[in-house]
Each structure stands twice: as structure tokens, then as C-alpha cells.
């Protein structure tokens, strides 16, 4: 059986400074940051919980997703009946949608640790 663990919550924001401050007020620390305005992103961490915050254009509706890490991305793709795709941030990913229309993303465990 393929192992799967929760890796991080991904959240987009049109209000970068306020959103980052909000997470930090909840006890998270910004452990990594990349990009520049208006497309900043960063990883916030508190204990075992991780949030990746990404700045998006104010004209868009911010989205979010849950990222799960797996030891066998190919097995997840086969079970879900989808293809593994290469992301623009340098990982491989499988996206699946539940019956209520929510998207979940799986990435290989070794690639998630490198982000």
C-alpha cells in the first residue's frame, strides 16, 4: 500500500501582507519566501502544520488546496485514473477532485521535502 501524509495547505491571497500577518498572529513563522510583488509566495510553519501562501492578482478569486505527499505518485495516478503532470515549480503532481468539487493534490514525498 502506498503511504500518504498531509504535507501542506495551499492558500492564495490578494492581500499578501495582511494574510501573512494573520497566519503569524496564529503562531506560524515564515520559514521560506520567494517571488516578488505582485507574485510573492512563502511557506509558513507551526509545529507540524505547514501553509504555503501565494499572492495572486486582485482581479482573481483566491483558491486553495490540500497537498498530500506520497511515496508512489504513479500508483496514486493509476488508482485515480489521471496522469502525473510536471509543475511549473519543478515537481510532479497528481490532482484529483472529490464529488463536491474540491481539489486535492498529491506530490512525491521526496519532492515535497525539497520545496
Confidence of residue 109 (pLDDT cuts 50, 70, 90): confident
State pLDDT tens for residues 26-36: 999 999 999 99
Q: How confident is the model at residue 1 (pLDDT cuts 50, 70, 90)?
A: low
Residue 87, domain CATH: 3.10.180.10
**Band (113; pLDDT cuts 50, 70, 90):** very low
| pLDDT of 114 | 41
Q: What is the pLDDT of residues 31-61, one digit of tens each?
A: 999 999 999 999 999 999 999 999 999 999 9
Domain range for 29: 4-114
Number of domain units in the chain? 1
Cell, residue 13: 491571497
* 24 or 4, greater pLDDT: 24
For residue 48, the SS3 value is coil
Contacts of residues 53-60 at CB distance under 8 Å and 24 or more positions apart, as own/partner, are 53/11, 53/12, 53/13, 53/16, 53/19, 53/20, 53/23, 54/10, 54/11, 54/12, 54/13, 55/12, 55/13, 55/14, 55/16, 56/12, 56/13, 56/14, 57/14, 58/14, 60/12, 60/14
Give the span between the Cα atoms of 111 and 92, in whole angstroms. Answer: 8
d(C-alpha 14, C-alpha 20), whole Å:
11
- Grade residue 111 by pLDDT with cuts at 50, 70 and 90: low
Amino acid at each position: 500500500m502506498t503511504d500518504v501524509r498531509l504535507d501542506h495547505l495551499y492558500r492564495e491571497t490578494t492581500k499578501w501582507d495582511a494574510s501573512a500577518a494573520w497566519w503569524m498572529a496564529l503562531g506560524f513563522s515564515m520559514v521560506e519566501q520567494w517571488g516578488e510583488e505582485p507574485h510573492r509566495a512563502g511557506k509558513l510553519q507551526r509545529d507540524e502544520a505547514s501553509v504555503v501562501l501565494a499572492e495572486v492578482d486582485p482581479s482573481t478569486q483566491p483558491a486553495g488546496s490540500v497537498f498530500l505527499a506520497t511515496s508512489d505518485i504513479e500508483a496514486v495516478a493509476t488508482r485515480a485514473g489521471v496522469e502525473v503532470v510536471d509543475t511549473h515549480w519543478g515537481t510532479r503532481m497528481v490532482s484529483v477532485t472529490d464529488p463536491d468539487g474540491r481539489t486535492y493534490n498529491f506530490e512525491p514525498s521526496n519532492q515535497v521535502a525539497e520545496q
